[in-house]
Amino acid sequence: DTGVSQNPRHKITKRGQNVTFRCDPISEHNRLYWYRQTLGQGPEFLTYFQNEAQLEKSRLLSDRFSAERPKGSFSTLEIQRTEQGDSAMYLCASSQPLGDEQFFGPGTRLTVL
């Protein structure tokens, strides 16, 4: 399968714990995006990478959130000291250098107890 993959698909954690999600984009895509989606809402933009450079961060991304894309390939999103309000689906997408269409992964569903 050459689509965007995300791991894990589901994560249940206790409040205060740290969690890390991984996204593997389509191999030739240099642009990578993270979105968050809460129940009944559309996805909301979190951050964007072009190659290894993080070029844009949403105000939604508090200082407890950090994202990396160290070699310009896969990306990780870490949430420290999780709160119940962090419970959501975290979606990753990638796109070609000159493409407008974003290809989404299946998402990681986070539940904070």
Backbone φ, ψ for residue 67 (5° rounding): -125, 145
Q: In the window 92-111, what residues touch other proteins (CB under 8 A)?
A: 93, 95, 100-107, 109
Minimum CB distance to other proteins, residue 16 (Å): 26
Q: In the window 2-21, what residues touch other proteins (CB under 8 A)?
A: 4, 6
The DSSP secondary-structure symbol of 33 reads E
Please identify which residue in 23, 91, 110, 112 interacts with other proteins, judged by CB under 8 A. Answer: 91
* Residue 26 CA: distances (Å) to CA of 42, 80, 95: 23, 27, 8
Coil/strand/helix, residue 13: strand
Judged by the rule CB under 8 A, the positions of this chain that interact with other proteins are 4, 6, 31, 33, 35, 40-45, 48, 50, 55-56, 89, 91, 93, 95, 100-107, 109
